[in-house]
Amino acid sequence: MKSLPGVRKFSASVFHYYGFDPDDNEISKGDIRQRFELFSLDNKWKSYYRDSSKVNHDLDLKIYNLGDRLGSNEFGVFAGGELHTYKGDQFYTMRTGFDLISYRSDGIMPFTYMNSETEAVDTDESVDNAIVHAVPQILLRKGGLSASVGLGIYLQVQNVGRFHAFPDAEVSYSLFNNILIPYAGITGSVNRVGYRTLSQSNPWVMNSLNLENSVTKYNVFGGIKGSVTDNLSFNTRVSLIQTDNMPLFVNDIIFSTENRFNVIYDDIGTFSMLGELTYANSEKWEAFTSVEILSYTTDLEAEAWHLPAHRIAIGGKYNLFDKFSAGMTLTWIGARQVKSLLPLPDMDLPESGFLTVELDPYLDLSLQAEYRYTSRISAFVEVHNLAAARYDIYYRFPAQRAFVMGGARYLF
């Protein structure tokens, strides 16, 4: 068994809930400041037995603690991995995991400038949630045919326990020496929704939230992938996904003036068409492009709020002697529908009590660079929105003209 280098990280970041019209309220930065402090640990253990009578393992232990300025805290542990072995042309795997979070919030108060407008006080939130899963699977290969069959078994515990079982299968066939590989499959899963995952996606989310796991009841997919040359590969895929309890961001008007986000849940169906093209020249540099077109169906909500209609990305990365790497990514995000609970200057609220507002598509140009002093010590810098475009990241939250982030990494 080999223990891989452990990763310990500490990060501190400050955000401001700036999504309001400054002409409407006189607000100081201290009134709308949020700070996140995250400590995380990641250890891996892996075996490399060549004897087919032995079972190889790839184990992972992740621990983190997230705290914020407003009194919320989340502690999380994930322990899991994969066991695998083979006999002849049959490959056996077992993916397992135990995922636990403990979330506490002191509740949420209105901003100071709103005290004269509302006396609403949110109650404390306390969530202890565990997800346990096991996915046994058998992979068979015969000539150009590859087929895997398995079953995903999940138990989620939050006040009560709920079992879920999903098929986990995929079949593919290699044509013309991997030039064309048609494939199809189906899978499902229970997905963690925690304060860490939500705040990393949207740092302007409220600190006191109702946390519920989402459940991908099925992800049915099919497509064709392959290699045009030794350096050029492609992938096309069509997917139909049904996700229950998907979290959606909606601007809050009870504890803020739309400059914080609440999380609501809905059952979302997603239809996706994806095309990818990748060019890799040895280990020095690679380039890629991808296009994904998306459409959604909802159960309770009028739209899948803040989810884009399409994504387009073009980028590349260069690696010099494993010391220096640089990359560029150009991303186009399509139009998004958002839910406004307040009237607009030229529009009153209809009987439904909300307005549907469309956010314009946007283009983002970003650069990344990293210098690795040793295998354990490195420094990095990232520049986002290099084109200084004006667009809304989320409703009422315009992007900064240019955003620069840098730091250092040390592996223990």
Mean pLDDT in consecutive groups of 10 residues from the start of the chain, 412 residues: 70 88 70 92 88 86 96 96 88 96 85 52 78 97 94 94 97 93 98 96 93 97 94 96 98 88 97 96 88 98 97 93 89 96 86 92 93 83 87 90 79 62
Cα-to-chain-centroid distance, residue 76: 16
Q: Rounded to whole angstroms, what are the CA distances from 62 to 36, 79, 109, 314? A: 19, 6, 32, 32
Average pLDDT taken over every residue of the chain: 90
∠ Cα 265 267 271 (to 5°)? 125
Cα separation, 295 vs 271, in Å, equals 5
Into how many domains does the chain fold?
Answer: 1
- φ, ψ of residue 157 to 5 degrees: the values are -125, 115
Identify whether the C-beta of residue 173 lies closer than 8 Å to the C-beta of residue 145: yes
The tokens describing 387, both together, are: 């084109």
Residue 25 has what pLDDT?
67
Domain holding 220, by residue range, is: 2-410
Residue 104 neighbours by CB under 8 Å, 6+ apart: 72, 73, 74, 124, 125, 126
For residue 182, give the H/E element and its range: strand 181-191
Residue 24 has what pLDDT?
66
Question: What are the tens digits of pLDDT across the range 96-147?
Answer: 999 999 999 988 766 655 554 444 455 667 899 999 999 999 999 998 999 9
Cα separation, 133 vs 80, in Å, equals 9
Cα separation, 288 vs 312, in Å, equals 11
Cα separation, 191 vs 197, in Å, equals 11
Cα separation, 257 vs 248, in Å, equals 18
- φ, ψ of residue 117 to 5 degrees: the values are -100, -30
Cα separation, 310 vs 359, in Å, equals 13
Identify whether the C-beta of residue 314 lies closer than 8 Å to the C-beta of residue 326: no
Cα separation, 138 vs 171, in Å, equals 12
Cα separation, 153 vs 138, in Å, equals 15
The tokens describing 362, both together, are: 């946007």
Cα separation, 166 vs 358, in Å, equals 36
CB-facing half-sphere around the CA of 122: CA atoms within 13 A = 23
∠ Cα 399 400 403 (to 5°)? 115
The tokens describing 89, both together, are: 């042309």
Cα separation, 104 vs 128, in Å, equals 9
Cα separation, 151 vs 169, in Å, equals 8
Residue pointed to by tokens 């407008």:
117
Residue 408 has what pLDDT?
77
Closest to 411 in 3D by CA, of 4, 2, 8, 3: 8
Residue 116 has what pLDDT?
47
Residues in a beta bridge with 290 = 276, 313
The tokens describing 50, both together, are: 């060549």
Cα separation, 124 vs 131, in Å, equals 23
Q: By CB neighbour count within 10 A (0-12 exposed, 13-18 middle, 19+ buried), where does 347 fall?
A: exposed
- Supply the pTM of this predicted model: 0.91
CATH number, position 154:
2.40.170.20
Cα separation, 258 vs 250, in Å, equals 9
- φ, ψ of residue 326 to 5 degrees: the values are -140, 145
The tokens describing 360, both together, are: 């314009």
Cα separation, 38 vs 35, in Å, equals 10
Residue 333 has what pLDDT?
96
Residue 50 neighbours by CB under 8 Å, 6+ apart: none
> SS3 of 360, please?
coil
Closest to 102 in 3D by CA, of 122, 78, 130: 130
Kindly calculate the radius of gyration of the chain based on its CA atoms and give it in whole angstroms: 24
Residue 120 has what pLDDT?
47
The tokens describing 326, both together, are: 């640089």
